[in-house]
């Protein structure tokens, strides 16, 4: 079965950095675009970033542009989100998600369990 397992979250001070990982299994990882989302308690999901199946097409939400970097290692079936210059408003549960195709179609069919990121002094 399809599994997406996030890791790398934790507590970090404002201005610090974290790298999130999403280990994928149960499907041909290199054939699908992937996305990161985040969610605070009682709030809706916020889209963070998307990367095409081969990594050649990338985009970001304005709120993270210039601070976060999405990447993938298809040989390791792993998606990453490097987060720098973290702010308290980045405190959320972060989810990786599998796109239904290789690039632009805006639909998700599988989600990870989430990893908590807390930015606080």
Write the pLDDT tens digit of every residue in 109-121: 999 999 999 999 9
Contacting residues for 13 by C-beta, under 8 A, at least 6 apart: 119, 120, 121
- Calculate the CA 50 to chain-centre distance: 8
Write the pLDDT tens digit of every residue in 10-69: 999 999 999 999 999 999 999 999 999 999 988 999 999 999 999 999 999 999 999 999
The pLDDT-based confidence of 105 (bands split at 50, 70, 90) is: confident
The pLDDT-based confidence of 82 (bands split at 50, 70, 90) is: very high
Q: What is the pLDDT of residue 40?
A: 92
The pLDDT-based confidence of 79 (bands split at 50, 70, 90) is: very high
Cβ 81 vs Cβ 93: under 8 Å = no
Residue 104 has pLDDT above 80, yes or no: no
**C-alpha radius of gyration, the chain, whole number:** 13
3-state secondary structure of 75: helix
> What DSSP assignment string belongs to 13-44?
-TT--EEEEEEEESS-GGGS-EEEEEE-TTS-
Cβ 42 vs Cβ 62: under 8 Å = no
Task: Identify any residues that bridge with 34 across adjacent strands, giving them in sequence order.
Answer: 51, 98
For 95-114, what is the mean pLDDT?
92
């Amino acid at each position: 079965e399809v599994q997406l397992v996030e890791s790398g979250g934790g507590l970090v001070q404002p201005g610090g950095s974290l790298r999130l990982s999403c280990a994928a299994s149960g499907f041909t990882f290199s054939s699908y675009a992937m996305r990161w989302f985040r969610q605070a308690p009682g709030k809706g999901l916020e889209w963070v970033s998307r990367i095409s199946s081969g990594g050649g097409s990338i985009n970001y939400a304005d709120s993270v542009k210039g601070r976060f970097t999405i990447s993938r290692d298809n040989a390791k079936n792993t998606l990453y989100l490097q987060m720098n210059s973290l702010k308290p408003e980045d405190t959320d549960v972060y989810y990786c998600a599998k796109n239904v195709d290789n690039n632009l179609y805006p639909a998700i069919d599988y989600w990870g369990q989430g990893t908590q990121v807390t930015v606080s002094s």
